[in-house]
């Protein structure tokens, strides 16, 4: 057996070693705990700053969204107004095109009539020409409209000539009827000679 002094010294040395081991382990744990706490604090700080940045961006996006929505409303209103104006302008353009077309058709119809009227006034017998003559004289106008116009003027001219002939033939027919009845001018002169009176009396 070892002497008691040496045994007590060994026990003290062992206790001291155990204490140092525990102290070292505790210090390491403290350091690890402090490091963990600091790391957690830094992580939390980073998270808070990231959240704050996201909130700031979100507010900016919301403000931009409000502005863009207002701009979109104005653009939609302007688009509606422009669409309405475009529709009105299209209707006005269609109306003007119809008016221009009617004016052109009216001029195409009236121009041959005016020229044919002048031709009738200048020379009546010229109306006896065929209808194709008027169409050949005015190739720029509608052939059918010119043909109808010429035929109408020919019919009017023929009716006027027939009326004049009938009017001029009525006195001749009356004179013939009187001659047939023995009441012609010669019989009237004979009656006046026999009665001794003149026709003026």
Q: Are 160 and 127 in contact (CB under 8 A)?
A: no
Q: How far is CA 2 from CA 6, 8, 9, 10, in A?
A: 7, 10, 11, 11
Per-residue pLDDT of the chain (201 residues; tens, 9 = 90+): 444 457 788 888 888 888 887 788 777 788 888 888 888 889 999 999 999 999 999 999 999 999 999 999 999 999 999 999 999 999 999 999 999 999 988 888 877 766 776 676 666 544 444 444 444 444 444 555 455 555 565 565 555 555 555 545 555 555 555 555 554 445 445 454 454 544 444
Name the packing angle between helices 4-122 and 143-181 (round to 10°): 20
The b/e string for 32-71 (b: 16+ C-beta within 10 A; e otherwise) is eeeeeeeeeeeeeeeeeeeeeeeeeeeeeeeeeeeeeeee
pTM listed for this prediction: 0.34
């Amino acid at each position: 057996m070892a002497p008691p002094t040496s045994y007590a010294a060994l026990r003290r040395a062992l206790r001291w070693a155990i204490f140092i081991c525990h102290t070292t382990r505790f210090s390491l744990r403290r350091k690890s705990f402090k490091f963990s706490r600091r790391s957690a604090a830094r992580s939390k700080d980073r998270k808070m700053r990231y959240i704050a940045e996201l909130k700031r961006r979100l507010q900016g996006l919301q403000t931009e969204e409000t502005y863009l929505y207002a701009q979109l409303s104005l653009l939609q209103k302007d688009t509606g107004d422009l669409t309405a104006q475009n529709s009105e302008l299209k209707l006005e353009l269609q109306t003007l095109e119809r008016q221009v077309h009617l004016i052109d058709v009216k001029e195409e119809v009236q121009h041959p009539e005016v020229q044919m009227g002048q031709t009738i006034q200048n020379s009546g017998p010229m109306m006896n020409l065929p209808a194709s003559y008027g169409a050949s004289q005015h190739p720029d106008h509608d052939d059918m409209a010119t043909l109808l116009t010429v035929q109408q003027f020919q019919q009017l001219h023929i009716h006027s000539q027939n009326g004049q002939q009938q009017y001029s033939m009525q006195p001749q027919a009356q004179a013939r009827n009187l001659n047939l009845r023995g009441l012609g001018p010669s019989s009237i002169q004979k009656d006046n000679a026999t009665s001794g009176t003149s026709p003026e009396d």
